[in-house]
Amino acid sequence: MARNGIASIGECMIELSGQSGPDWRMGFAGDTFNTLWALHALSDGRPATYVSAFGDDPFSQGQIGFFAENGIGIGSSPVIPGARPGLYAITLTGAERSFTYWRGDAAARQLASDPGSLSKSLENQALVYFSGITLAILDEAARKTLLAEVAKARAAGSMIAFDPNYRPRLWRSREEAQAVIIEALGTTDIALPTFPDEQMLFGDETPLATASRLGRIVGEVVVKNGEAPALVAQAQTLREVPAIHVARPLDTTGAGDSFNGGYLAARLAGLGPADAAHRAHRVAAAVVQVRGALAPFETLRAAFA
């Protein structure tokens, strides 16, 4: 069977954003879903699957329905009676955002509870994507299950992409995060770290240090660094790709995730790493000019073209 699909593994939450007085706008978002959203918009009809676990409450049903309305399936992800999605709210100071979370008992923490279903969801995918947040919400046994299934998908021919996306509050210790993320990198073909995260987690002094360290494990590394150039490393070749300055961003939520989606879409389309990073910067620049984590598909496609 042809490997044509794209799959992303993680937690999609209820997002509260756009506060106006006591009123909020509700949507659905989360780092790995934000990446899949952009990747799906830019991938010329490839089947898209969000691999997670869901509750049977009205919000989970609405979430699955929202995915379906936008051409995204859930594969064999379990639906768990009595479970429900996590929730977060975005507050903005100018364009900079902060987050408040309610996610301790979210259904997504059980995404690896059924190894058979997880394996089935990852079958025949051209690309499988996950993040450090995916790993952080799981217990130790579930992490091992997830990484084993990702490694199995890679051995069967899927390309694996991973963003370490370090969030200290989700981990018991920095040392635990280091060990788990290094293990995950061993299953990875494309790493998409963010330099400030890597600086905080591993003490890297420069993006070059991050690229060099990860390049000993992963064949292709793209170090994001906000409005500074991205550093692309592949086959002992390093190249800086300038970011696009946006004079008045509205909301930076999801910019890095959308960069990842643009980059991976370009690589699947056959572009080289540097050209893919140029496209990804354009996508990220478009995303910071809209509210919330998910830009309209038309906005993403116009930026990518």
- Per residue in 149-161, pLDDT (tens digit) is 999 999 999 999 9
Q: pLDDT by residue (tens digit) across 54-82?
A: 999 999 999 999 999 999 999 999 999 99
Residues 6+ apart with CB under 8 A from 233: 211, 212, 214, 215, 220, 221, 222, 223
pLDDT of residue 2: 65
Dihedral-angle region of residue 18 (phi above 0 means left; psi in -120 to 50 means alpha; beta otherwise): left
Q: pLDDT by residue (tens digit) across 238-254?
A: 999 999 999 888 888 88
For the domain covering 5-304, report its CATH number. 3.40.1190.20
**Is the four-CA dihedral 96, 102, 107, 111 of positive or negative sign?**
positive
The percent of residues above 70 in pLDDT, for the chain, comes to 98
Q: pLDDT by residue (tens digit) across 80-99?
A: 999 999 998 888 776 667 88
Written as six digits, the tokens of 213 are: 């360290």
Written as six digits, the tokens of 83 are: 């479970």
Q: d(Cα 17, Cα 3) in Å, to the nearest integer?
A: 36
Written as six digits, the tokens of 180 are: 């788990």
pLDDT of residue 297: 97
pLDDT of residue 201: 98
CB 48 within 8 A of CB 34: no
Written as six digits, the tokens of 159 are: 């390309």
Q: d(Cα 37, Cα 298) in Å, to the nearest integer?
A: 12
Written as six digits, the tokens of 257 are: 């995730």
Coil, strand or helix at 24: strand
Which range, of 59-68, 165-174, 193-202, 288-297, averages the lowest pLDDT? Answer: 288-297
H helical segments located in 7-98: 31-41, 58-69
**Is the four-CA dihedral 4, 9, 13, 18 of positive or negative sign?**
negative
Q: Hey, where are the domains in the chain?
A: 5-304
Q: d(Cα 58, Cα 212) in Å, to the nearest integer?
A: 47
Q: pLDDT by residue (tens digit) across 20-46?
A: 678 888 999 999 999 999 999 999 889
pTM: 0.95
User: What's the distance, CA 225 to chain centroid?
Assistant: 16
* Residues known to be catalytic: 257
The length of the chain in residues reads 305
CB 283 within 8 A of CB 34: no
pLDDT of residue 305: 92
pLDDT of residue 22: 83
pLDDT of residue 58: 95
pLDDT of residue 187: 98
Written as six digits, the tokens of 43 are: 């991938």
pLDDT of residue 94: 67
Q: How crowded is the C-beta side of 133, counted as CA atoms within 13 Å?
A: 22
